[in-house]
Structure 1
Amino acid sequence: MAFLDLSQLNKSFGPNHVVKDFDLSIAQGEFVSLLGPSGCGKTTVLRMVAGFETPSSGAIRIDGQDMTHLRPNQRNIGMVFQAYALFPNLTVAQNVAFGLKVAGVARAETQTRVDEMLALIGLPDLGGRYPYQLSGGQQQRVALARALAVRPKVLLLDEPLSALDAKIRASLRREIRAIQQRLGITTIFVTHDQEEALSMSDRVVVMNGGRADQIGTPFEIYNTPATRFVAGFVGTLNTFQAVVTDPATGTVTLGDTPIALHRPVDAAAGTTVTLAMRPETATLGIGEPGDVVLRARISDVQFLGAIIRVTADLGGDSLTLDTFNRASTPPPDVGAPVTISMPPAGLVVLVA
């Protein structure tokens, strides 16, 4: 049984239907990210779980209890916002203690929990400072401690890292994930950053136009996208137009090259489908037996440090592949003819 269950959630603002038939079941202690572009409905889903928005229809249950129409302070939920939302006139310790004070927790217990939370976020000696005396990363840690101090059943994180620079963001997302795993708290994380979602989550929900286009593990979302939108939104992608010649065996033709995918294709013979492939799937030169082999000519080479990104012309289509930088192997020259190999399993057929 799911610990947090969202069933057929819909939300409209006047004529705008922003969340549509949204279903999601989350296990206790699971970390789930809602990933998608601005306006896809992910924050609206989060606000409905928090109680800041009421669903137009559908139900929200936490640990078997219907929360759909309860006020935010009746749900035992902790929330961390993008803009920190710390009280500037309160010290760090007072900010962390705020929810406990509102809940009527005894002073001694409050002090114990504040000390625990400040130690948990790695700021045990900064309880007497004010928010303006902290860095952005430290302020976000305090916001997290305040949300966790009340021992919520569910933790909601609304793009909490987007205001931070890249280095601090990478460090803090590791810390947030480690804290979440240590406490075993059920968590929903909203982000438009695919790297955050893929690196932090047990599962990812890719949202598009108010709906969940795909729900799966980071591995599944990246390697086997269910729709054209998911394939294009998550990661860098090559796409080619191919014609189905035998749906049962998964044989398609790319230009003049027949490709055996060795799995059925859900499209009729003669149908044009899109083949999708990640840049790291292909390799220069002859690969393994059974690989798809294409002839191409190098059109661009980008040196990116550990990675060299090569773009090749297939005679109408363009293919980008990533290869590791090795000091003993210089990158190919622009204009050079090359052979490109890829395993059939690395090619995904997109029909939706």
Structure 2
Amino acid sequence: MSYLTLSHLEKSFGTLRVVKDFNLDVAQGEFISLLGPSGCGKTTVLRMVAGFELPSSGGISIDGKDVTHLRPNQRNIGMVFQAYALFPNLTVAQNVGFGLKVKGAPKDEIAPRVKEMLDLIGLADLGNRYPFQLSGGQQQRVALARALAPKPSVLLLDEPLSALDAKVRVSLRNEIRAIQRELGITTIFVTHDQEEALSMSDRVVVMHEGIADQVGTPFDIYNRPATRFVAGFVGTLNTIEAPVVDAATGTVRIGLREVRLGRTLPAGRVTLGLRPEAVSLAPTGREIALHGKIREVDFLGSVIRLRADLDGQILAFDTFNTAHSAPPKVGEEVTLGLNAADLLVIGA
């Protein structure tokens, strides 16, 4: 059953339609990410849920209550901003308790709740410090605790990790997800980072030009993209322009090799998508063997990404880095293996 419902949301600024017929049902306790490039409308959707923007049309309900036209302070929403937005003149403890104080909670309730939140974020000993005395990661933890302290119905996070360095981002996203699971709070997370969305979410909404291109689990979004945009935006994808040899049997030509996909195709040409990890450096146990020559070798740590020229078609593929086995060198001839089921038809 839906706890947060967004129905036919539209938002225009003048003649510019930023969000177009956006629909989403979120279950209680679910973690949803809105993923997309800058300007796709994801933050505008978040701001409409928060009450900072009024929809041009459509409705928003929380736990069966229509909140479309309520002010932000009437919605029981917790919000964590990209820029932390902590009060510099208040201590950590005062920042965390600020929302409770504004709501008129008794002092004897505020102190234990603040202590509970500081324990939750692992900053129990830093309550008397000021924001400038904290690291970026610590400040973001305080912003999260402040949003959670009043026990909101829904938690909204607007790219909260984008200002942090890579290691802190990974650590903090794990902490945010763990806290969200512990509290069971319904959460909407806005990000342009695919790894964040895929690793943290129960479901991902991929947005493009104001619409939800696809809504699904991280597994489905990555492995079964519904549109060409989703296929290209989420993860790394090889795109292969392949002439159709036999439309009825789904036979196409890749390089000099004819490959039968086993599904009906339109006549002419199709665009196929192939993830780098679906290609192996040896054809053993694979249905399709393709011959090519290595053009690039990129060392990425635990993974080495190579690019091979298959008669004019460049194909990227990954292999694990091992200390006792060097990767192929540029110019080396290789045979690559893949399965027909891993080839996605993403356009005709």
Report the TM-score range of the alignment, normalised by the length of the smaller protein.
Answer: over 0.9
Partner of 1:295: 291
DSSP 3-state at the match of 1:117: helix
- Structure 1, residues 286-311: CA drift from partner, whole Å, max 9, x if none? 2315x221111111222222111111
Q: CA deviation at 1:247?
A: 4.5
Q: CA deviation at 1:76?
A: 0.6
Confirm or deny that 1:143 pairs with 2:139: no
Gaps of 5+ in 1: none
Q: CA deviation at 1:333?
A: 2.2
- Structure 1, residues 171-210: CA drift from partner, whole Å, max 9, x if none? 1000000000000000000001111111111111111100
Partner of 1:260: 260
- Structure 1, residues 290-347: CA drift from partner, whole Å, max 9, x if none? x221111111222222111111001111001000112332211221211111111211
Partner of 2:344: 348
**1:248/1:220 Cα in 2 relative to 1: closer, same or farther (>3 Å)?**
farther
- Structure 1, residues 14-49: CA drift from partner, whole Å, max 9, x if none? 011000011111111110100111100000000000
Confirm or deny that 1:283 pairs with 2:280: yes
Q: CA deviation at 1:119?
A: 0.4
Contact (CA 8 Å) 1:287, 1:342: kept in 2 or not?
no
DSSP 3-state at the match of 1:305: coil
DSSP 3-state at the match of 2:38: coil
Partner of 1:103: 103
Partner of 1:243: 243
- Structure 1, residues 95-118: CA drift from partner, whole Å, max 9, x if none? 111111111111111111101000
Partner of 2:48: 48
Confirm or deny that 1:193 pairs with 2:189: no
Confirm or deny that 1:306 pairs with 2:306: no
Q: CA deviation at 1:246?
A: 4.3
Confirm or deny that 1:209 pairs with 2:205: no
TM-score by length of 2: 0.97
DSSP 3-state at the match of 1:232: helix
| Pairing 1:18-57 to 2, within 5 Å after superposition | 18-57=18-57
Q: CA deviation at 1:81?
A: 0.2
Question: Which amino acid in structure 1 is aligned with residue 167 of structure 2?
Answer: K
Contact (CA 8 Å) 2:118, 2:127: kept in 1 or not?
yes
Task: State the distance in 2 between where 1:96 and 1:247 align.
Answer: 63
DSSP 3-state at the match of 1:3: strand
- Alignment partner of 1:317 out of 303, 313, 317: 313
**1:249/1:110 Cα in 2 relative to 1: closer, same or farther (>3 Å)?**
farther
Contact (CA 8 Å) 1:240, 1:275: kept in 2 or not?
yes
Question: Which amino acid in structure 2 is aligned with residue 217 of structure 1?
Answer: T
DSSP 3-state at the match of 2:173: helix
Contact (CA 8 Å) 2:191, 2:197: kept in 1 or not?
yes
Task: State the distance in 2 between where 1:209 and 1:347 align.
Answer: 27
Aligned residues: 348
Question: Which amino acid in structure 1 is aligned with residue 309 of structure 2?
Answer: D
- Structure 1, residues 56-83: CA drift from partner, whole Å, max 9, x if none? 0111111111111111111111000000
Percentage of pairs with the same residue:
69
| Pairing 1:177-192 to 2, within 5 Å after superposition | 177-192=177-192
Question: Which amino acid in structure 1 is aligned with residue 277 of structure 2?
Answer: E
Confirm or deny that 1:67 pairs with 2:84: no
- Structure 1, residues 227-278: CA drift from partner, whole Å, max 9, x if none? 111111111111111133444543322244222223x34x42x231111111
Contact (CA 8 Å) 2:255, 2:310: kept in 1 or not?
no
Partner of 1:159: 159
Task: State the distance in 2 between where 1:137 and 1:57 align.
Answer: 38
Task: State the distance in 2 between where 1:212 and 1:220 align.
Answer: 15
DSSP 3-state at the match of 2:283: coil
Moved more, 299-308 or 178-187: 299-308
